[in-house]
C-alpha cells in the first residue's frame, strides 16, 4: 500500500503510539489501541470473505466504532460505503443495493434500521465492537456467496498469488502490529477506489460519488498541513457527522494524519459542545453555521468560560457575517470558511489565517484550480474573466472518479477536464471566491443537503395530494427550512399534520418538511415549470 487511507492511521500509530487518538465520553483510545482494534476487525472481515475491492457499508454514529470500522475496511483493501445515519430503512436499502455492498457494519441505536435494510437486500449485518468468536454478528462467520479470503485457496485449487507489498511502516519497536500480523496483505494503488459517498441529485435518487485513496489522503494532508497546521498536541472537536465527507476528511482523517486527538460527540448540542471545548481543551472546532449559532447561544447563557480554541472552520453552507463576528467576539478565535463538495473530497477553497476575507470562501487549496464558467454552455467549459458571475468549475487532485454506475451523470459533471459544480460564484481580482447561489433546487438544512424532487416524489404518493412543490425558506437557526406547497386532489382533504407525518415515516429526519401551505393552484412559467420564487411569499 503505497498511498492508502489505512496508512493515515497506521503512520500515526507508528509515530505516536501512546498519544490519545479518540475521546468518546469516558473512553480514550491511543493510536496503538485504535490501530490494533481496526486491524483486528480487518482480519475478521477478511476471514468472513471480504476481498479487496468489495464494498462494505457503515451505518454508524459519531462513536469510536466509526474509525474502527472505517480503517478496518481500508486495511482489508475493501471500499467504504458510509451511510447517512438519518436515513430510514428503505433509503438505506437503496444504498446497499446500488453499491452492491457485501455487508453492513452497524451498532447501537442504528442497528434496527440496518437490520431491516439488510434483510430487504439480503446482506449480513456485522458489528465491529463485538468480541471475536461471537458468530455472524461480529463478522466471524462467512459472508454468504463471498469469495475465499485473500491469499487463501480458490475453488479451482489455485492460490491468489504471493502477498503484495503492503507498505505499512515497520512497527515492532513500537508494539504496533501491521495488517500482515493478522494475515492481511492488501495491495492498494493511489488511484484505486477507497470510498463511495452517496449524494442526492436533483433528478431524485442518490448518486454514489467514487473517491480514490489519492483523493482522500491528499485532501486530508492538505487540510492538516497547509490549511490548519495541525500538530500532535492539537485537539479537534468531531461533532460533524463522520458519514459525511466534511467530518470524514477534515475532522477524522486530517486529525489522524497529524497525530492529533479527535473528540467525538454522538449528538451535537450547543451546551454539550461548549462543555467539551472547555473540558478537553479543544484547539480546533469544525462545524456548520447551525452549530456556530448553537455555540454562541450556549456561551451567552453560560456567562463565558475560557476555551483553548486557536482556529474554527465553517463549511456546508454560507456563514452569515454577523454570526461570524459574534463567534469571534465570544471565543476570541478566527473563523475560517471553506468550500467544497462531496465530489471533491471535499475541500477545494479555503480562507487561511492571515489571508482571509469574511463573506468569501477563500482561494484554491494547493493542487486545485478554480474558475468561473458560462453556465448557459453545457457541453463545454467556457471560462469567464474574474469579476463575472457564473458556474464554479474545478480541477485537481480532489476531483472524484465519477458516479458509480451512472455514466450519464458523470459525463454531465466532468466536462473538458473540469468538474462542473452547478454552484454560481464570482472570483475577485485577488483570487478570492464568493459563492453567490447554491444549486438551483438544493436546500441546505442545518448543513445537510435536501433535494426537493426526492421530497416531492414521496409527498406525491399521498392519495390526497394533487400537486406539490418543495422549496427552502430562510431560517435563522438552520439556514434553511424545508417547506411544501400542496394542491389537494379533487374532493380530497388532508391536513398539514397528516402530510408531515406521512413524509416523516418515509424520509430521513433532515428531509421531511416542517412548513406546509395549501393553494388552489401552483404558479407556472411559460414552459409549465413551477415558479418556486413566487411561493416564497407564502412563508
Least confidently predicted of 13-22, 113-122, 282-291 = 282-291
Q: Indicate if the pLDDT at residue 217 is higher than 90.
A: yes
Q: Which pLDDT tens digit goes with each residue over 30-61?
A: 999 999 999 999 999 999 999 999 999 999 99
How many C-beta atoms lie closer than 10 Å to residue 163's C-beta? 14
How many C-beta atoms lie closer than 10 Å to residue 219's C-beta? 29
User: With 0-12 CB in 10 A as exposed, 13-18 as middle and 19+ as buried, what is 39?
Assistant: buried
Q: At 97, is the secondary structure helix, strand, or coil?
A: helix
Q: Indicate if the pLDDT at residue 498 is higher than 90.
A: yes
Q: Indicate if the pLDDT at residue 410 is higher than 60.
A: yes
C-alpha cell at 333: 478565535
- Residue 461's pLDDT band, with cuts at 50, 70 and 90, is confident
Contacts of 125 (CB under 8 A, 6+ apart): 103, 104, 105, 106, 111, 114, 115, 118, 137
- Residue 187's pLDDT band, with cuts at 50, 70 and 90, is low
Q: Going by DSSP bridges, is the β-strand pair 261-264/284-287 parallel, antiparallel, or unpaired?
A: unpaired
Least confidently predicted of 120-134, 210-224, 354-368 = 120-134
The pLDDT, as a whole number, for residue 300 is 86
Contacts of 445 (CB under 8 A, 6+ apart): 472, 475, 478, 479, 480, 481, 482, 510, 511
Cell 487518538 found at: 21
Q: Is 281 left (phi over 0), alpha (psi -120 to 50) or beta?
A: left
The pLDDT, as a whole number, for residue 133 is 36
% residues pLDDT > 70 (the chain): 86
Q: Which pLDDT tens digit goes with each residue over 334-363?
A: 999 999 999 999 999 999 877 788 889 999
Q: At 20, is the secondary structure helix, strand, or coil?
A: strand
Taking residues 426-433, report their average pLDDT: 92
Kindly give the residue spans of alpha helices, DSSP state H, lying in 433-509.
452-460, 496-506
Q: Indicate if the pLDDT at residue 181 is higher than 80.
A: no
Three-state secondary structure string covering 339-357: EECHHHCCEEEECECCECC
Q: Indicate if the pLDDT at residue 78 is higher than 60.
A: yes
C-alpha cell at 490: 379533487
Distance CA 452, CA 75 (A): 38
Give me the residues paired with residue 406 across strands.
Answer: none
Among the listed residues 375, 19, 12, the one whose alpha carbon sits nearest the alpha carbon of residue 224: 12
Q: Indicate if the pLDDT at residue 504 is higher than 90.
A: yes
- Residue 191's pLDDT band, with cuts at 50, 70 and 90, is very high
Buried b (16+ CB within 10 A) or exposed e, 133-159: eeebebbbbebeeeeebbeeeeeeeee
- Residue 284's pLDDT band, with cuts at 50, 70 and 90, is very high
Q: What is the dihedral of CA 200, 84, 232, 290, to 10 degrees?
A: 70
- What is the model's pTM? 0.82
Q: Indicate if the pLDDT at residue 373 is higher than 70.
A: yes
Among the listed residues 392, 425, 422, 395, the one whose alpha carbon sits nearest the alpha carbon of residue 409: 422
Among the listed residues 66, 124, 114, 70, the one whose alpha carbon sits nearest the alpha carbon of residue 93: 114
Distance CA 491, CA 188 (A): 61
Cell 462531496 found at: 342
Taking residues 379-390, report their average pLDDT: 94
Distance CA 61, CA 49 (A): 25
Q: What is the CA radius of gyration of the chain?
A: 23
User: In order of start, what are the domains of the chain with their CATH numbers?
Assistant: 5-12+31-157+190-212 (3.40.50.980), 359-439 (2.30.38.10), 443-538 (3.30.300.30)
The pLDDT, as a whole number, for residue 467 is 85
Amino acid at each position: 500500500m503505497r498511498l492508502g487511507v489505512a496508512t493515515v492511521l497506521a503512520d500515526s500509530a507508528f509515530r505516536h503510539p501512546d498519544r490519545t487518538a479518540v475521546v468518546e465520553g469516558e473512553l480514550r483510545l491511543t493510536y496503538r489501541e485504535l490501530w490494533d482494534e481496526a486491524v483486528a476487525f480487518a482480519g475478521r472481515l477478511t476471514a468472513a470473505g471480504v476481498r479487496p475491492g468489495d464494498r462494505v457499508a457503515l451505518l454508524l454514529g459519531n462513536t469510536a466504532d466509526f474509525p474502527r470500522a472505517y480503517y478496518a475496511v481500508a486495511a482489508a483493501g475493501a471500499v467504504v460505503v458510509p451511510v447517512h445515519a438519518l436515513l430510514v430503512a428503505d433509503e438505506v436499502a437503496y444504498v446497499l443495493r446500488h453499491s452492491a455492498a457485501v455487508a453492513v457494519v452497524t451498532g447501537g441505536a442504528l442497528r434496527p434500521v440496518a437490520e431491516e435494510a439488510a434483510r430487504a437486500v439480503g446482506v449480513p449485518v456485522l458489528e465491529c465492537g463485538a468480541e471475536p468468536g461471537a458468530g455472524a454478528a461480529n463478522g466471524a462467520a462467512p459472508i454468504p456467496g463471498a469469495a475465499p479470503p485473500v491469499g487463501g485457496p480458490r475453488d479451482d485449487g489455485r492460490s491468489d498469488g504471493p502477498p503484495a507489498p503492503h507498505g505499512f511502516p515497520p512497527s515492532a519497536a513500537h508494539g504496533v502490529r501491521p495488517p500482515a500480523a493478522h494475515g492481511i496483505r492488501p495491495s492498494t494503488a493511489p488511484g484505486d477506489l477507497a470510498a463511495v459517498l452517496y449524494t442526492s441529485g436533483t433528478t431524485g435518487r442518490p448518486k454514489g460519488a467514487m473517491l480514490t485513496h489519492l483523493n482522500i489522503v491528499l485532501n486530508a494532508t492538505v487540510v492538516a498541513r497547509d490549511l490548519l497546521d495541525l500538530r500532535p498536541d492539537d485537539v479537534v472537536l468531531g461533532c460533524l457527522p463522520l458519514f459525511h465527507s466534511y467530518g470524514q476528511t477534515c475532522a477524522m482523517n486530517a486529525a489522524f494524519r497529524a497525530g492529533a486527538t479527535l473528540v467525538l460527540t454522538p449528538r451535537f448540542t450547543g451546551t454539550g459542545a461548549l462543555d467539551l471545548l472547555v473540558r478537553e481543551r479543544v484547539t480546533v472546532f469544525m462545524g456548520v453555521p447551525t452549530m456556530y449559532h448553537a455555540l454562541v447561544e450556549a456561551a451567552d447563557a453560560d456567562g463565558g468560560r475560557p476555551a483553548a480554541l486557536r482556529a474554527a472552520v465553517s463549511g456546508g453552507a454560507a456563514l452569515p457575517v454577523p454570526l461570524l463576528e459574534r463567534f469571534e467576539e465570544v471565543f476570541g478565535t478566527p473563523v475560517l470558511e471553506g468550500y467544497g463538495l462531496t465530489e471533491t473530497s471535499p475541500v477545494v477553497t479555503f480562507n487561511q489565517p492571515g489571508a482571509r476575507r469574511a463573506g468569501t470562501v477563500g482561494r484554491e487549496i494547493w493542487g486545485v484550480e478554480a474558475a468561473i464558467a458560462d453556465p448557459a454552455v453545457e457541453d463545454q467549459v467556457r471560462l469567464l474573466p474574474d469579476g463575472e458571475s457564473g458556474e464554479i468549475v474545478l480541477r485537481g487532485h480532489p476531483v472524484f472518479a465519477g458516479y458509480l454506475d451512472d455514466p450519464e451523470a458523470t459525463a454531465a459533471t466532468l466536462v473538458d477536464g473540469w468538474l462542473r459544480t452547478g454552484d454560481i460564484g464570482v472570483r475577485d481580482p485577488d483570487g478570492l471566491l464568493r459563492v453567490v447561489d447554491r444549486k438551483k433546487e438544493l436546500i441546505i438544512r442545518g448543513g445537510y443537503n435536501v433535494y426537493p424532487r426526492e421530497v416531492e416524489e414521496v409527498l406525491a404518493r399521498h392519495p390526497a395530494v394533487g400537486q406539490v412543490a418543495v422549496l427552502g425558506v430562510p431560517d435563522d437557526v438552520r439556514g434553511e427550512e424545508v417547506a411544501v406547497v400542496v394542491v389537494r386532489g379533487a374532493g380530497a382533504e388532508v391536513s398539514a399534520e397528516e402530510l408531515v407525518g406521512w413524509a416523516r415515516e418515509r424520509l430521513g429526519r433532515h428531509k421531511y418538511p416542517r412548513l406546509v401551505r395549501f393553494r388552489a393552484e401552483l404558479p407556472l412559467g411559460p414552459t409549465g415549470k413551477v415558479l418556486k420564487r413566487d411561493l416564497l411569499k407564502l412563508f
